[in-house]
Structure 1
Amino acid sequence: MSNFVGVNDVLGRELGSLRLSLTSRCNLACPYCQPDGQEPKALLDQAQHLALITASCLLGAQTLRLTGGEPLLCDDLEPLLAAVQRRRSQKTNPLSNLHELALTSNGVLLTAARARSLRQAGLDRITISLDGTDGASVAQMSGLRGGSVAGIKVLDRVLDAIQAARQAGFDPERGDLKLNSVIQRGLNEHQLLPLAALARQQGIELRFIEYMDVGNSNGWKPEAVVTAAEMVQQIEDCWPLEFIGRLPGSTAQSWRYRDGGGLVGVVASISQPFCGDCNRLRITADGTAFTCLFGAQGTSLLPWLVPEPNLDGLIQIMQSLWQQRFDRYSEERLKAESVGMVPTLVEKPAMAYLGG
């Protein structure tokens, strides 16, 4: 077994988090994500997933987040979680370096039975996405046909999923259960305060996310971004806040409600980029590594995964990839916009492929 070889990139950023996509498919069609319903030709199997996770841990990763598309569409999700958990419990195994095993889901498929099976398999934390509190808003932000009626059905399922996760042992007070909401001007900015009120009522931390220019097919325009500062001000006007800060490597600035109503966060990757301490490596469902969410090109790891995983080879290529990393797209975009430059249009993969 290879030894631990923590690695820094060109800007001194350590590899700390692996975001592993299990599928590009999704049961929703959120416009900011733009899933095309197409699965890569060859999905990775459990042995390949475990090799990627092991290599990442040996290079310094301490958190693993399983994503999609919608990861609950993956039949091998629980077996993979269980295999990771077994290795985490072995002190000499590289996976014992994992401090957190998390998952992001839209919640539609998260039944009570599924929530229990995920918890039993070893999942520590689950984040559920919800972009509205009424049928029309949910339908629009989820890309649903059928208007309010379809939106209400999805909303009810997500609210049931929140309860199912709580009952399965995902405790919001420990941060085991959180909500994510993307806010887009012209579509759902009127839902900001209702979403905050829902999260307060549920006792769950909610993180508002600026509408991001991931990929080229979501029609992103700067004027559609509701900035973190705007969002915080709206919340502050309704419920006074106390600023907590942003942990190194974290995506969210955190705030505490002064009345004891819990926590709220904002992810300001557009208006206040946090490239300087970004520690995330993304690997797609077909084994392509991206060192930036906004990256135009990835590096295929298949030569070291097929016909069977080559752990030492994976470590070498992933170490080399990270050491050459100098991505800071959001900072560069913001700097260019500040002097009136128009960014060059480069073809980029959609968020559903990258795993968000």
Structure 2
Amino acid sequence: MRGSTIELPGTSSAPALLDPFGRAVTYLRVSVTDRCDFRCVYCMSEDMSFLPKRDLLSLEELDRICTAFVGQGVRKLRITGGEPLVRRDIMTLFRTLSRHLESGALDELTVTTNGSQLARFAQELVSCGVRRVNVSIDTLDPDKFHRITRWGNLAKVLQGLDAAQAAGLKVKINAVALKGVNEDEIESLIAWTHGRGMDLTLIEVMPLGEIDGQRIDQYLPLSEVRRRLEARYTLQDLAERTGGPARYVKVAETGGKLGFITPLTHNFCESCNRVRLTCTGQLFMCLGQEDAADLRAPVRASEDDAPLNRAILDAIARKPKGHDFIIDRNHARPAVGRHMSMTGG
């Protein structure tokens, strides 16, 4: 069965991609590099081998694939990595993709970053139509930050946040909940983010890729975190969605939003509207499955977009209903062999 399309009311004339379960795929996350200037302990090993340049999609190829998805009804593009802002000439891609914002074909162009390069690029991102960014910060303790990221400098990231907010970007902080590492800081992260007008999303450790150590030693169920927070805060469930897997609450005492991404304690697949493109042109229809479609081959085989568009439709027809993440002592190997830095965060 090949993926199908439907017309969505109130949007552009582009059809929406429909998966086998009737979900409209309107959100593409694009990894532009597997490289990163951090080595976070839950994401990758310290001694990583990265892909040779010849295997990567060029910026022109990335633009072509993104444009094909926009033409088939994708309304939101998120640029990720690795760390996307370390890719050489990356702002060229943002500038070319911004034409879809100007035409109205695209609702949002955004980015997930570790913040290390934000001071350098914040203003230019705004000029390309980016209005909000997600920044990963797991702790406000500089020494602990360095231990978690191995190579990161918290002061530099905070300077990037200042630059982002000064440029007018709306910032959301992502924090991975790590047992015995930052679980005692979650309340202070809430106070800090909400005090700066930023939202906070907590994320459970995901079993992707080999790391140094075992993820069961890092895994902190967010169901447990929420129970503890409810003893201190009034958490009001919100119906809103931002196109991602987070479920949001309003913290009455601060007035800010708090999100929970719970791939393990609560499968978030029922309303999944997203697919992920790697920097090598592999399209993963599910973060937690190994099945992928090769989009690099049709892009490099022909200047005609018809083969690429067919490949996209065929891939969406294979999108599964959900993932099967497991973390326990009996499943020491990761559920998925590739690292998050390859797939895109």
Relative to the length of structure 1, the TM-score reads 0.85
Q: Cα deviation per residue 1:325-349 (whole Å; 9 max; x = unaligned)? A: 215113xx46x99xx9969866521
Residue in structure 2 matching 1:209, options 197, 203, 210: 203
Question: Is this contact kept in 2: 1:33–1:218, CA < 8 A?
Answer: no
Answer yes or no: is 1:354 the counterpart of 2:339. no
Per the alignment, residue 24 of structure 2 pairs with: 14
- Deviant stretches of 4+, over 3 Å: 216-224, 307-310, 340-347
What amino acid is the match of 2:185? Answer: Q
CA distance in 1, matches of 2:50, 2:121: 24
> Superposed, which structure 2 residues align to 1:1-356 within 5 Å?
4-34=14-44, 36-42=48-54, 43-90=56-103, 96-111=104-119, 113-144=120-151, 154-170=153-169, 176-217=170-211, 219-222=213-216, 224-245=218-239, 247=241, 249-306=243-300, 309-330=303-324, 333=325, 348-356=337-345
Task: Give the SS at the match of 1:29.
Answer: coil
Task: Give the SS at the match of 1:57.
Answer: helix
Q: Cα deviation per residue 1:180-222 (whole Å; 9 max; x = unaligned)? A: 0001113322222222222122221010101111224365544
- 5+ residue gaps, structure 2, are 1-12
- CA RMSD in angstroms comes to 2.5
Alpha-carbon shift at residue 295 of structure 1 (Å): 2.3
CA distance in 2, matches of 1:264, 1:122: 25
For residues 40 and 195 of structure 1, do their structure 2 counterparts lie closer, same or farther at Cα, with a shift above 3 Å needed? farther
Per the alignment, residue 7 of structure 2 pairs with: none
Question: Is this contact kept in 1: 2:270–2:321, CA < 8 A?
Answer: no
Relative to the length of structure 2, the TM-score reads 0.87
Alpha-carbon shift at residue 236 of structure 1 (Å): 2.7
Alpha-carbon shift at residue 6 of structure 1 (Å): 2.4
Alpha-carbon shift at residue 27 of structure 1 (Å): 0.3
CA distance in 2, matches of 1:251, 1:198: 23
CA distance in 1, matches of 2:303, 2:277: 15
- 5+ residue gaps, structure 1, are 91-95, 145-150, 171-175
CA distance in 2, matches of 1:38, 1:45: 16
What amino acid is the match of 1:140? Answer: R
For residues 259 and 190 of structure 1, do their structure 2 counterparts lie closer, same or farther at Cα, with a shift above 3 Å needed? closer
Alpha-carbon shift at residue 160 of structure 1 (Å): 1.2
CA distance in 1, matches of 2:172, 2:145: 18
What percent identity do the matched residue pairs reach? 28
Question: Is this contact kept in 1: 2:59–2:90, CA < 8 A?
Answer: no
What amino acid is the match of 1:58? Answer: G
Greater Cα shift, 254-263 or 275-284: 254-263
Q: Cα deviation per residue 1:150-171 (whole Å; 9 max; x = unaligned)? A: x6xx11111111110011111x
For residues 66 and 218 of structure 1, do their structure 2 counterparts lie closer, same or farther at Cα, with a shift above 3 Å needed? farther
For residues 220 and 323 of structure 1, do their structure 2 counterparts lie closer, same or farther at Cα, with a shift above 3 Å needed? farther
Task: Give the SS at the match of 2:159.
Answer: helix
Q: How many pairs are equivalent?
A: 330
Task: Give the SS at the match of 1:207.
Answer: strand
